Structure 1
Amino acid sequence: MYGTTQKMRAAVSHKFGRDHKLGTQPWSEHPMIAGKSIVNPSLSVMVSQYMVSLHRRKVWSGEAVTSAQAIDEVTMKCLWDFVWATPCKEYGATSCKRKAENPAEWAGFMICSMLLLLYLVSMICLPCYDEALQITWADITFQGFRPGDFHVRLELPFRKTHQYRGIAPFYVYADEQFWWMLVRERCKNLDGFIFWKKIGTDSVSVNLTDGMTSNAFLECFHNNLLDIGVDSCGCQFLYKVCRWDFRDICDWGGWAENFNNPGTIFKYLLSWNDNPREKREHYMNPNRLMKDPCHACGRTCHCA
């Protein structure tokens, strides 16, 4: 697949650039020594032309490059319903034979609720999953205990877009988003990582410094999607449902303060692989049905 070829080229480029100290400049032959290359060979003009040609041939043969599909509100609702439909019971030691005979019993209520909390944090506060996995209880502060004012202050310990710190905190209010309820109800010892290492079917590590790894999360995420019938691998929630504009989304997520790379922003907001908002034949149809009322202004028109 073309995507695999891109990853292979990126790995080779990193190997030559970092380990062999050849940098990121295009490849060229040594002017004094025949057959010896200088700079990065995987970035040569010939390799670049081959990648363009390969992409063209793959598209013409019917293989389309598929980007990651965003998790929308409907999928989150299905995940929420699945968690609360999961029976809360004790799971003993699980043998390999039982795992093979009952693949649906890969996780119990505690693991599923912890995963749901991770999904909600990623969807509302816009961190990558590997950034969210590093959140500890020291990064969480409960504030405003007056009725109607309770909220959570979340300070991400790490963000790829903020290598020199300066990460703005997130304030999530209980009357708008209620993921904090899972935190208060399910956890007794507020120490260490929030998302612990999964042990067995429905247990976590007793060592609070053992956080869930990226590979373990991806496996659980894939299983969770299969549970609700989604066979595929959040900022679109703020854009499509809450109807925030791009500027507000970028301010909230801490993205591209100078807007020097807008392509990266739109890669997360818009993708051809996502479900279309409207069928093409209905764009100019004056008799098309109105949308659901806006939760803020009550309008049902398509321009709301």
Structure 2
Amino acid sequence: MRAAISHKFGRDYTLGAQPWTENPSIPGTWMGNPSLSVKVSQYMVSLHRRKVREGEVVTSARAIDEGTLKALYEFNKTIQAKGLSRTSRKRPAEHPPDWAGGKLRKMLNLIYVISFLCLLRFDEVLNLQWPDIEIQQLSTGDRVKISLLARKTHQNGGIAPFFLYPNPNKKFICPLTALAEWINVVGPDHMNGYVFRRKVGANSWDANPSHGMSADSFMECFRNNLLDIKIDPRPYGTHSFRRGGCQYLAMVLRWPFRNICSWGGWAENFDNPGTIFKYLLAWTDVETVTREEFMDPNRKGSDPCTSCGRTCWCR
């Protein structure tokens, strides 16, 4: 609530992000953002302490993992293969998977992959337009360059681009595959405006290129997709892909924390090192290792590393 009020004062009333202080030139008058006053800050700290004393635990959105993304990808492929032929409005209730057809599911898959690999929030992905996505041809193959004009922490631009490469060993998170499938659906003559259009019906989208998909609409689609694979959607939220991608880079790809911070946009001044740990650790996440397995020398191996082929957990 405080963040919303600060945004209202700062952007709509053009009061900026400066703390609320008395004007030294004109005593008795004030300048800055009222929501960022010292008294409000003190109240927020006190409120947090009271909530902790009362036993309230901060709940983060559950992170999306590789297994869930793979299950979503494989289920959506089955729908794409058999197509969708709705006969009445009752059909989605009688056949739950018919809430979306194969074309719409290809769009969702591309949103999943970009959000997961680039550690983006829903609104940042949904605001992408076709000029922001560039397929670059290199001597070693193709890659995708994604440029963001603005995001929560960079309202005025200055965001480093993301470079994504093909991943043939894991097609469910291969950005080139997901993008190619969506381009094939959209067609090269309609690659203008928003990349992800407003949903119309069960298998179509708005013809107006300036009408992008809303965050609420995507969240509804995402939750329906989780129900398709028998997963309770309630623990998942707007940061699920951002948190899941962060954990994927740290625990699967073994990236150093500095690289993760730089890739995700936390490395500007390292003034809040606790932020990344909130993405890596939360009680809402599913445990990947039981207590008995930590020191077990006969512990079952992990999936083979795509580079060296090793399956041990120490790679």
TM-score, structure 1 normalization: 0.79
Check whether the contact 1:25–1:43 (CA below 8 A) recurs between aligned residues. Answer: no
Q: Which residue of 1 aligns with 2:147?
A: 155
Alignment of 1:227-238 (within 5 A): 227-232=228-233, 233=236, 234-238=245-249
Letter in 2 for 1:88: G
Alignment partners' CA distance in 2, 1:14 and 1:135 = 22
Identify which of structures 1 and 2 has the higher relative contact order when contacts are C-alpha pairs closer than 8 Å and 6+ apart: 2
Q: Which residue of 2 aligns with 1:192?
A: 193
Q: Which residue of 2 aligns with 1:35?
A: none
Identify if the C-alpha distance between structure 1 residues 82 and 99 changes in structure 2 by more than 3 Å, giving closer, same or farther.
closer
Paired residue for 2:254, among 236, 243, 247? 243
Q: Which residue of 2 aligns with 1:54?
A: 51
Alignment partners' CA distance in 2, 1:155 and 1:49 = 40
Letter in 2 for 1:141: E
Check whether the contact 2:142–2:165 (CA below 8 A) recurs between aligned residues. Answer: yes
Residue 42 of structure 1 and its aligned partner are, at CA, apart by 7.8
Check whether the contact 1:133–1:213 (CA below 8 A) recurs between aligned residues. Answer: yes
Q: Which residue of 2 aligns with 1:274?
A: 285
Give RMSD over aligned pairs. 3.2
Letter in 2 for 1:228: I
Alignment partners' CA distance in 1, 2:119 and 2:258 = 14
Alignment of 1:1-304 (within 5 A): 7=1, 43=40, 48-49=45-46, 51-59=48-56, 64-86=57-79, 87-91=82-86, 95=89, 97-144=90-137, 148-175=140-167, 177=174, 178-188=177-187, 189-232=190-233, 233=236, 234-304=245-315
Check whether the contact 1:17–1:24 (CA below 8 A) recurs between aligned residues. Answer: no
Alignment partners' CA distance in 2, 1:46 and 1:76 = 41
Residue 216 of structure 1 and its aligned partner are, at CA, apart by 0.8
Q: Which residue of 2 aligns with 1:4?
A: none
Secondary structure in 2 aligned to 1:179? helix
Aligned residues: 280
| Consecutive unaligned residues in structure 1, runs of 5 or more | 1-6, 27-31, 33-37
Residue 79 of structure 1 and its aligned partner are, at CA, apart by 0.6
Identify if the C-alpha distance between structure 1 residues 151 and 15 changes in structure 2 by more than 3 Å, giving closer, same or farther.
closer
User: Which structure's CA Rg is the greater one?
Assistant: 1
Alignment partners' CA distance in 1, 2:203 and 2:225 = 14
Check whether the contact 1:91–1:202 (CA below 8 A) recurs between aligned residues. Answer: no
Check whether the contact 1:291–1:300 (CA below 8 A) recurs between aligned residues. Answer: yes
Check whether the contact 2:130–2:192 (CA below 8 A) recurs between aligned residues. Answer: yes
Letter in 2 for 1:301: C
Secondary structure in 2 aligned to 1:150? strand
Alignment partners' CA distance in 2, 1:111 and 1:175 = 23
Check whether the contact 1:144–1:151 (CA below 8 A) recurs between aligned residues. Answer: yes
Alignment partners' CA distance in 1, 2:273 and 2:254 = 19
Check whether the contact 2:106–2:178 (CA below 8 A) recurs between aligned residues. Answer: no
Residue 44 of structure 1 and its aligned partner are, at CA, apart by 7.4
| Consecutive unaligned residues in structure 2, runs of 5 or more | 22-27, 29-33, 169-173, 237-244
Check whether the contact 1:12–1:42 (CA below 8 A) recurs between aligned residues. Answer: no
